[in-house]
Amino acid sequence: MSLNLNEEDIELAELIGLLHDIGRFEQVRQYHTFIDKDSVNHGKYGVKVLFEDGLIRKFLKTNEFDEIIKKAILNHNRAKIEEGLTERENLHAKIIRDADKTDIFYVLTIGDKKAIWESNDLSNDVITDKVYYEFFNDHLINYNDKKTSIDLLVAHFAYIFDFNYKQSLYIIKQKGYVTTLYNRFKFNNPQTKDRMEKIYNEVLKYMN
């Protein structure tokens, strides 16, 4: 990213990138799933593993950056970054959120449909009215309002509004992730087809 970071912040961002999903290992070992709603919040669990169990000292001898790392991991999978962070904590929270969502978009374009959307076939799914209106009015989907697999797909498209840096959106656009994701599905329901086309176009307009 073109943020003119100093060497220390570059190395710190790289370390956070390596550690932000460390809670996933215990999550899948204990609960046999990567789905937070069916197990634990993997961000919070990662902080527990690193800081309560002391694993962080295997990666970093000093505790000088502990709060920055902790806040970044805690906030990487939240709906929004918490308030009250220092400028540097906020910087690293934004960087890892963008990096994480960039990776998610890549996975969405190649990953197993059933594993991601809990269904191999979304062609006859209907978008919940509340989810559709949240997309256009809030640019954020409340996961408690999700009723169908295609609602989750809409939530994934809404991720595009949560990027913090233009360079991140440039990468998403350059890789063609949004178009590839959209073209993975066919929609039989006329209303769903119309709504998904509008969602897709709204995302393209925002990226441009």
- Same domain for 19 and 103, yes or no, is yes
Number of domains in the chain: 2
- Same domain for 170 and 182, yes or no, is yes
- Same domain for 9 and 35, yes or no, is yes
- Same domain for 77 and 165, yes or no, is no
- Same domain for 14 and 33, yes or no, is yes
What confidence tens digit (pLDDT) does each residue in 140-151 have?
A: 999 889 999 999
- Same domain for 117 and 104, yes or no, is no
Residues in CB range of 51: below 8 A, 6 or more apart:
66, 70
**Residue 51: predicted pLDDT:** 96
Cα-to-chain-centroid distance, residue 116: 13
Pick the closest to residue 162 from 98, 103, 100 (CA basis): 98
Domain that holds residue 165: 113-208
What confidence tens digit (pLDDT) does each residue in 80-137 have?
A: 999 999 999 999 999 999 999 999 999 999 999 998 998 999 999 999 999 999 999 9
- Same domain for 97 and 195, yes or no, is no
Question: Of 62, 94, 110, which closes a domain?
Answer: 110
Question: Of 45, 79, 110, which closes a domain?
Answer: 110
- Same domain for 27 and 88, yes or no, is yes
Verdict on whether the full-model pTM lies above 0.95: no
- Same domain for 80 and 173, yes or no, is no
What confidence tens digit (pLDDT) does each residue in 22-51 have?
A: 999 988 889 888 878 888 889 999 999 999
Q: Which two tokens stand for residue 48?
A: 């527990």
Question: Of 92, 110, 128, which closes a domain?
Answer: 110
Q: Rounded to whole angstroms, how far apart are CA atoms 193 and 207?
A: 21
